[in-house]
């Protein structure tokens, strides 16, 4: 039962977010370790500042994307902006859960259900979007003559809908199993918002193990395959070819981002071990893992496409530095009228 609790909460930010996270005590009671007022205030201020900075960055990226037609007609940037929006939703959600956990110890089960399902959806979407972006880079380098026919805007939106359906299926099945197994009064009760406390049937644990293992293996193999193919293309063409080197480095950064995303699946076990060894540092350990799993990966998306992509950076810096009016103004050239010669 202990294993099930740890695994089911692996995708729930509440287990990593809060120093007030639940822990099972002997006799089945749920204990809530308390943080001091100063520490709680400091952690909340840091979380809110990070949320504000990243949302300003993400907001200017979305605005840049929407203002220039060249971007929303390119599958590469469409996938990128989906990643940005997904990151912004996830960061806003986990920050809200973080702050709310210090104000309300328990919330309505139905509200908790919506928050947890959305958190699971956004967390599981990230690796699949990374895989799609890596395949796009692979096609652009290895099949440049066919790229325009394969990677179209229509097919990109179809891929996004497929990703959405794949990631929404597990939380929906969690909900359906809980509706079938739990009494109706369960969803009208108040509870500490945690995945393992909300979806507590053991069949959910086995189902999620099969799904997570399958789709994470698929994403890892996709990234490895695309990286190897791009490396082979680099050796066949030229090691100094700039576009190939950029694509190779982009896939490497996607791999690093995927490794950080995978921490959400292994951190609960590692966190439990560290808390067992250093129980007096349990609150700090939880907070460090929260930053490592949910904050640091959100900084990589702006780096990958915001700063490294010259085309996007040229437009984005204008909005980020509030120089749109001066940089975007175009002066009309005077037109000389040549008189007709009779």
Where is mean pLDDT largest: 89-98, 174-183, 203-212, 246-255? 174-183
Instruction: Find the range with the poorest average confidence among 18-32, 51-65, 157-171, 184-198.
Output: 18-32
Tokens of 127: 């690796």
- pLDDT of the residue at 146: 86
Asked whether 219 and 125 are in contact (CB, 8 A), the reply is no
- pLDDT of the residue at 239: 52
Right CATH for 36-323 from 1.10.3720.10, 1.20.58.340, 3.40.190.90, 1.20.1070.10:
1.20.1070.10
Tokens of 32: 């809530």
The secondary structure of the chain, three-state, reads CHHHHHHHHHHCHHHHHCCCCCEECCCCCEECCCCCHHHHHHHHHHHHHHHHHHHHHHHHHHHHHHHCCCCCCCHHHHHHHHHHHHHHHHHHHHHHHHHHHHHCCCEEHHHHHHHHHHHHHHHHHHHHHHHHHHHHHHHHHHCCCCHHHHCCHHHHHHHHHHHHHHHHHHHHHHHHHHHHHCCHHHHHCEECCCHHHHCCCHHHHHHHHHHHHHHHHHHHHHHHHHHHHHHHHHHHHCCCCHHHHHHHHHHHHHHHHHHHHHHHHHHHHHHHHHHHHCHHHHHHHHHHHHHHHHHHHHHHHHHHHHHCCHHHHHHHHHHHCCCHHHHHCCCCCCCCCCCCCC
- pLDDT of the residue at 156: 92
Tokens of 55: 């949302």
Domain ranges (residues) in the chain: 36-323
Instruction: Find the range with the poorest average confidence among 24-38, 124-138, 217-231.
Output: 24-38
Query: How many C-beta neighbours within 10 Å does residue 210 have?
Result: 10
- pLDDT of the residue at 32: 46
- pLDDT of the residue at 161: 93
Region 197-212 average pLDDT: 84
Region 112-130 average pLDDT: 85
Q: How far apart are CA 298 and CA 304, in angstroms?
A: 11
Q: How far apart are CA 128 and CA 159, in angstroms?
A: 10
Q: How far apart are CA 148 and CA 84, in angstroms?
A: 24
Question: Which of the two residues, 23 and 334, has the higher pLDDT score?
Answer: 334
Tokens of 104: 């309300």
Strand-pair partners of 23? 31
Question: Above 70 in pLDDT, residue 115?
Answer: yes
Per cent of the chain over pLDDT 90 is: 4
Quick one: pLDDT band at residue 274, thresholds 50, 70, 90? confident
Cα 30 to its chain centre, rounded Å, is 30
Burial class (CB in 10 A: 0-12, 13-18, 19+), 9: buried
């Amino acid at each position: 039962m202990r294993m099930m609790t740890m695994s089911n909460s692996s995708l729930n930010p509440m287990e990593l977010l809060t120093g007030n996270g639940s822990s099972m005590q002997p006799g089945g009671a749920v204990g809530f370790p308390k943080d001091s007022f100063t520490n709680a205030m400091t952690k909340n201020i840091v979380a809110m500042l990070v949320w504000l900075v990243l949302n300003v960055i993400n907001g200017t990226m979305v605005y840049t994307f929407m203002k220039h037609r060249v971007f929303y007609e390119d599958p590469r940037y469409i996938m990128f902006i989906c990643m940005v929006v997904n990151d912004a939703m996830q960061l806003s959600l986990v920050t809200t859960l973080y702050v709310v956990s210090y104000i309300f110890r328990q919330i309505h089960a139905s509200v908790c259900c919506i928050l947890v399902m959305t958190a699971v959806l956004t967390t599981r979407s990230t690796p699949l979007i990374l895989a799609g972006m890596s395949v796009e880079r692979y096609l652009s380098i290895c099949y440049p003559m066919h790229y325009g026919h394969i990677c179209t805007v229509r097919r990109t939106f179809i891929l996004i809908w497929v990703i959405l359906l794949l990631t929404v299926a597990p939380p929906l099945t969690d909900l359906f199993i809980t509706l079938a197994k739990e009494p109706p009064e369960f969803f009208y009760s108040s509870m500490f918002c945690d995945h393992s406390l909300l979806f507590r049937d053991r069949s959910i644990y086995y189902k999620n193990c099969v799904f997570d293992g399958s789709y994470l293996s698929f994403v890892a193999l996709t990234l490895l395959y695309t990286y190897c193919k791009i490396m082979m293309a680099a050796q066949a063409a030229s090691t100094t070819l700039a576009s190939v080197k950029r694509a190779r480095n982009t896939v490497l950064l996607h791999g690093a981002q995927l490794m950080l995303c995978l921490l959400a699946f292994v951190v609960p076990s590692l966190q439990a071990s560290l808390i067992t060894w250093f129980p007096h540092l349990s609150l700090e350990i939880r907070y460090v893992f929260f930053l490592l799993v949910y904050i640091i990966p959100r900084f990589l998306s702006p780096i990958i496409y915001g700063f490294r992509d010259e085309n996007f950076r040229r437009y984005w810096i204008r909005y980020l530095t509030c120089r749109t009016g001066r940089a975007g103004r175009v002066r009309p050239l005077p037109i000389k009228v040549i008189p007709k010669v009779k």
